[in-house]
């Protein structure tokens, strides 16, 4: 009976550790998603969507 109690406590401890690791992983994934949104926003702002042909280049053709 004593060994079953010890095993149950070990399983409980492993479950607690797994939950803690998953929580950390969830936080890290959230941070990565936030960083990716920021990068995507910066890329979108850096390249205008309403580009026009350069008249100097057009004249050389």
User: Does 32 fall in a domain?
Assistant: yes
- Report the pLDDT value the prediction gives residue 53, as an integer from 0 to 100: 75
Would you say residue 4 lies in a domain? no
Does residue 20 belong to any structural domain of this protein?
Answer: yes
**What would you measure as the largest C-alpha separation in the chain, in angstroms?**
91
Query: Does 1 map to a domain?
Result: no
- Domain hosting 23: range is 12-40
Q: Work out how many domains the chain is built from and give that number.
A: 1
- Give yes or no for residue 61 having a pLDDT over 60: no
Sign of CA dihedral 38, 42, 44, 45: positive
Asked whether residue 56 is assigned to any structural domain, the reply reads: no
| Alpha carbon distance 43, 47 (integer Å) | 6
**Tell me, what DSSP letter sits at residue 51?**
-
The mean per-residue pLDDT over the stretch 5-26 comes to: 96
pTM: 0.58
């Amino acid at each position: 009976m004593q060994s079953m109690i010890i095993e149950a406590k070990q399983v409980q401890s492993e479950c607690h550790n797994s939950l803690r690791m998953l929580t950390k992983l969830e936080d890290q994934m959230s941070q990565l998603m936030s960083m990716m949104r920021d990068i995507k926003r910066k890329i979108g702002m850096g390249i205008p969507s309403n580009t026009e042909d350069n008249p100097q280049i057009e004249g050389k053709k």
